[in-house]
Amino acid sequence: MAEESLKVNCRVNGRLCGKCCYETEMPLTKADIERIKMLGFEESFFARLEGGVPRLRNINGHCVFLNPETNECTIYPHRPSGCRLYPLVLDVEKGVVVVDELCPRAKEIPMEVVEELAPRLLKLIEQLCEENT
Ligand code: SF4
């Protein structure tokens, strides 16, 4: 699957950062759920419903798929669409796509990349709304 991803250097101070994988609220599309189930995981193991939207489940405060020893994503090639576009997020109040300042690499994301991938994030949000109404 050749889904566009935002390339981020997640190595910070010599180790994988993993900051965005703690207390995750990442929503899951139906395709994300099916792809992860194909790996042999039960949906109830990795997804929870919050606000009527399926989201990645946390365990011990981090995404169920994060290895907390190494901060590696254990399903990286199969990770959800929203994870592929992070640190792009929607500023709900302004209705625009921005770079999440919580990401230590936020300032390194070029504006051209934000502009190029913003439509993909907006489309993903639209898809999530359609799937959950
Ligand atoms: S917060 Fe940013 S640098 Fe850290 S793992 Fe997530 S995307 Fe990578």
Q: Which of 72, 82, 86, 87 is nearest to 28 (CA)?
A: 82
Q: Which of 112, 117, 21 is nearest to 61 (CA)?
A: 21
Query: Does 45 fall in a domain?
Result: yes
Question: Does the CB atom of residue 82 touch ligand 1 within 6 A?
Answer: no
By CB atoms closer than 10 A (0-12, 13-18, 19+), residue 68 is middle
Chain segment 36-85, per-residue pLDDT in tens: 999 999 999 999 999 999 999 999 999 999 999 999 999 999 999 999 99
Pocket test for ligand 1, best of 10, 15, 70, 76 (most atoms within 8 A of CB): 10
By CB atoms closer than 10 A (0-12, 13-18, 19+), residue 72 is middle
Domains identified in the chain, total number: 1
Pocket test for ligand 1, best of 100, 105, 121 (most atoms within 8 A of CB): 105
Question: Does the CB atom of residue 62 touch ligand 1 within 6 A?
Answer: no
Q: Is the dihedral of CA 43, 46, 48, 50 positive or negative?
A: negative
Q: pLDDT band at residue 4, thresholds of 50, 70 and 90? A: confident
Judged by phi (left if over 0) then psi (alpha if -120 to 50, else beta), residue 20 lies in: alpha
- pLDDT at res. 65: 98
- The reported pTM is 0.93
Query: Does 4 fall in a domain?
Result: no
Q: Which of 55, 41, 116 is nearest to 83 (CA)?
A: 55
Query: Does 116 fall in a domain?
Result: yes
Q: What percent of the chain has pLDDT over 90?
A: 95
Q: What percent of the chain has pLDDT over 70?
A: 98
Judged by phi (left if over 0) then psi (alpha if -120 to 50, else beta), residue 118 lies in: alpha
- Distance from C-alpha of 106 to C-alpha of 16, rounded to nearest angstrom: 15
Question: Does the CB atom of residue 19 touch ligand 1 within 6 A?
Answer: yes
Domain span at residue 60?
11-131
Query: Does 24 fall in a domain?
Result: yes
Query: Does 61 fall in a domain?
Result: yes
Query: Does 81 fall in a domain?
Result: yes
For residue 100, the one-letter residue type is D
Which atom of ligand 1 is least distant from the CA of 106? 2
1, pLDDT greater than 90: no
Query: Does 22 fall in a domain?
Result: yes
